[in-house]
Structure 1
Amino acid sequence: MMKAGGNTSKGLIACEEALQRLLDVRPVVPEHVRLDLSKLTASIVSLEAGFDRGYLKKSRKAHLPLLARIEACRAETNKSFSSSNAKTVERLKYKLALSEKELAMARAQCDRVLTQNLQLWERVRELELAGSQNKSLQVRQRT
C-alpha cells in the first residue's frame, strides 16, 4: 500500500487530510468507518492516507506536529469520554438518591395504610362480636 516515490510534504499533506477525514467521520478506508477516536493512532492515519502503518515516524521532525495532533485528538476524546462518564455517574447517583427517598415515602405510606387496615379489622371484629352477643341476648330474652 506504500505510495511509490513521493515528496515528504505531499505524504504529510495526505496524512493531514486523512486525519481530517477521520475527525470528520468520512474515512475512505472501510475499516475506519465508525472508528472510536479514542483508539486513533499514527498507523491508522497512515493507512487512511494510503501508506503503510509505519509511514508516520517520531524520528522524522516534519511528522512531529501531526503526531502531536493525533495524540491530542485521542487524549481529548478520552478526556471527553471520562468527563461524560463522570457526569453520567453523578446523574445516576442523584436518581438513586431520589428513588431511595420515594421508596422510603412509599414504605411509610404502606405502613400507615396497614395500620389503618388492622385498626379497621379490629373494629369490625369488635362490632361482629358485639352483634353476635346482642343477638344471643335477644334470643335469650324471647325465650
Structure 2
Amino acid sequence: MSSSKNMSGGILACENALQRLLEGKPVLSVHVGLDVSKITASIVSLEAGFDRGYLKKSRRAHLPILAKIESVRAEAGKGSNSSSAKKVQRLEDKVLLLEKELAMVRTQRDRVLTQNLQLWERVRELELAERQNKTRQVRLHH
C-alpha cells in the first residue's frame, strides 16, 4: 500500500515538475530557459527530484503523464513552424542590418584609402621638392 502512495506521490511530483517546466519556472538551474519542445520524461523526472529513468512506459501509472509529455512536445512541434518563421525573420532582419553596416564600413574604408593615397602623393611631392632644394643648395655653395 505504501508503494502505491509513493507511486502517486512520485507521479504528483512529476506532474508538478512538468507544470513548472511549462511555466518556465523550474527548480533546477539546468532547466532554466528550456524550450518546451525539449521537455522529455527524463527531464521531468530530474526536475521532480528523481533519476532520469524514473518515468517508464512499462509502469501503468506513469502512462498518463508520459502521454502529457508527448502531447506537450507534439504541440511545441506544431508551433515550431511559426517559431521557425520568426527565427528566420529575425535572421533576415539581422542580415539586412549587417549588409547596411557593411556598406557603411566599405564607404569609410574607401574614403580612408583615398585620403591615404592623397597623403602618400603629397609626401612624395615634398620629398622630391626637398631633394631639389638640396641639389640647388649644393650647386649654390660650390
TM range (shorter): 0.5 to 0.7
**Rounded Cα–Cα distance in structure 1 between residues aligned with 2:86 and 2:103:** 26
List runs of 5+ in structure 2 lacking aligned partners. Answer: 6-10
Look up the SS of the partner of 2:4 in the other structure.
coil
List runs of 5+ in structure 1 lacking aligned partners. Answer: 6-11, 58-62
Shift of 1:43: 7.4
The 1:43/1:74 distance shift into structure 2, 3 A limit, reads farther
Shift of 1:41: 4.3
Q: Please report the TM-score for the alignment, with normalisation by the length of structure 1.
A: 0.55
Larger radius of gyration: 1
Q: Please report the TM-score for the alignment, with normalisation by the length of structure 2.
A: 0.56
Question: Does 1:125 find its partner at 2:127?
Answer: yes
CA RMSD after TM alignment: 4.5
Name the % identity.
Answer: 23
Work out which of the residue numbers 30, 34, 48 in structure 1 matches 2:32: 34
Q: Is the 8 A contact 1:43 1:56 kept in 2?
A: no
**Rounded Cα–Cα distance in structure 2 between residues aligned with 1:132 and 1:88:** 65
**Count of aligned positions:** 131
Shift of 1:98: 2.7
Q: Is the 8 A contact 1:38 1:75 kept in 2?
A: yes
Kindly indicate which of the two structures has a greater share of residues assigned to helix. 2
